[in-house]
Chain A
Amino acid sequence: MENLFGLAIAFVAIFSGLMVVLHRNPMVNLVSLIINLASAAIFFLLLGGQFIAAIQVIVYAGAIMVLFVFVIMLLNLRRELDPPKGGRIQKILYLPAALALAAGLVYAALGPRIALPAPPPPGPDFGSVERVGELLFTDHLFAFEFVSLLLVVAMVGAVVLAKRRLD
């Protein structure tokens, strides 16, 4: 039951991922990306990571994508709907580049495996808010605090850039 559901979501994720790049209408790309991120949240949920799933929806599918929606809603889409005119270099190189990427993907899927150590069995409170919080503030404290520093820098940078344009 759970596997079947996971398989269905996997197809949704792949299809929406393809639509992000293949469809011509930017708004459809956007909706597909939202669906893709939401299906990632469902994968987290199936793996028992309730907290991560909620954060995935709130931060990625919710907050970040809303900003994308804003920008695209304000664009004039008429121009985007015409077929793109590629330059000369793109016309020559697209086929080798695509083939190289495909070969790499096939190699990754079928080639030799790297033996990873088996992860420890998940405890009963695996993926709960308490457990994630505990790990964040003990084992991963440095990374956690460092990311917050990075975010502050990014925020200050955004403010500086916006201010400069106003003056």
Chain B
Amino acid sequence: MSGVWIEAGVKVAVLMGLLLTGAAYLTWVERKVSGFIQARIGPNRVGPLGLLQPLADGLKGFFKEDITPKYAYRPLFLLAPALAFVPSLAVFAVIPFGDRLPILGRVISLRVADPNIGILFVFALASMQVYGVAFAGWSSNNKYALMGGLRASAQMISYELAMGFSVVGVLMITGSLRLSEIVFHQQGLFHWNLFIQPIGFVIFLVAGFAEANRLPFDLPEAETELVAGYHTEYSSMKFAMFPLSEYFHMMAISALTVILFFGGWQVPGLRAAGLAPLAVSILELAAMGLKMGFFLFLFIWVRWTLPRFRYDHLMTMGWKILLPLSLVNVFWSGIGILMGWF
């Protein structure tokens, strides 16, 4: 019994460590890639290639003065960053990063938990995340923050629907909500859901960008009109928790895209190559990392490619294009299953 607890504890600790460093270095990657796209250098002063920049940024975050505005509603003002941060981190509890890792005489499954409700757990946490942003905007007692908070919550609930429906096709084909079973169902390159559910994939990715409040959907924090949106009044580490949760969000969306549409950790033909089990699982972990990395790169790439939407266009797209399209996709998947195409 205690062995199970220790294993789970180690897994959580390793995952937390990886996620926190990952998010920190994602800021570095984002600045470097942005620099590359804009034909400039990016951070290069702190450490070789600016590699210690995230560390410096973190230290700065901790040592800045922490200001609570006089007319802010203090309890909620303190609660809001945690409400944004915790669900975005908790999502990773159900995300499978690989199959099994045989190491030190034990076989460790590479996920913290694999509940029956897998993907629903993810959506439940995503729906909780709205509150962090909404309460941050309201409790700051600042009109720009309030507008940002309202926009963010409206945007998140609108795109959550399209996102939920875009996945239904995949779930119908797999017949399970368990994320690991969704991965196992996609053996072989042409069984990847990308080829079976192309519309679902596009809707999921677009809705994912909107859910993570990334450009071209970053209206909640549109600098030119809203100062900084819902986190205008935040400072120090309380402020840093919002961008951090945005990075976790990006990582979660990337991981889910890979799991739902790109065969998860699987590499076509790797199992048949006859390598040692340990080598296979390490290569599969690397494959998962590479696939996720591609989508993280895509987030940054799109940021410097597409301009920001206008707010009414954003809402029109969510409700009048993506949602009906995702319903059509569900219908089409149903026909496909009836006819035995998939």
Q: Does B associate with A?
A: yes
Does residue A34 face the partner (Cβ distance < 8 Å to B)? yes
Residues of A with C-beta under 8 A to B295: none
Interchain CB contact under 8 A, B127 and A63:
yes
Chain B, interface size category, equals 20 to 34
Which B residues touch A28, using CB under 8 A? 75-76
The one of B153, B157, B177 that contacts A129, using a Cβ cutoff of 8 Å = B177
B residues near A63, Cβ cutoff 8 Å: 127, 157
Instruction: Let me know if A43 is at the binding interface, CB within 8 A.
Output: no
Taken together as a complex, chains A and B put the C-alpha atoms of A54 and B116 apart, in Å, by 11
26 interchain pairs, CB-CB under 8 A: A28-B75, A28-B76, A50-B116, A51-B116, A51-B120, A53-B117, A54-B124, A57-B128, A58-B123, A58-B127, A62-B124, A62-B127, A66-B127, A66-B131, A66-B134, A69-B130, A69-B134, A69-B138, A69-B153, A70-B154, A73-B134, A73-B137, A73-B146, A73-B150, A129-B120, A129-B177
**Could you say which of B73, B76, B121, B150 contacts A54, with CB atoms under 8 Å apart?**
B121
Chain B residue at minimum C-beta to C-beta distance from A131: B116
Question: Given the complex, which residues of B lie within 8 Å of A34, measured CB to CB?
Answer: 131
Residue among A27, A28, A58, A74 with the most chain B CB within 10 A?
A58
Chain A residues contacting B134 (CB-CB under 8 Å) are 66, 69, 73
The complex places the Cα of A55 from the Cα of B177 at a distance, in Å, of 13
Select from chain A the residue with minimum beta-carbon distance to B129.
A62
| Docked complex Cα distance between A140 and B49 (Å) | 63
Which residues in B have their C-beta under 8 angstroms from that of A50?
Answer: 115-117
Nearest residue in A to B79 (C-beta to C-beta)?
A31
A61 surroundings in chain B (CB, below 8 A):
127-128
Cβ 8 A contact of A57, one of B79, B127, B137: B127
B76 touches which of A27, A66, A128 (Cβ 8 Å) = A27
Residues of A within 8 A of B116 (CB): 50-51, 128-129
Contacts A66-B157, A73-B150 aside, 10 further interface pairs with beta carbons under 8 A come to A28-B75, A50-B116, A54-B117, A54-B124, A58-B127, A61-B128, A62-B124, A69-B153, A70-B150, A129-B177
Q: Is B149 positioned at the interface, with any CB of A under 8 Å from its CB? A: yes
Docked CA distance A63–B156 (Å): 11
In the assembled complex, the CB of A35 is this many whole angstroms from the nearest CB of chain B, namely 11
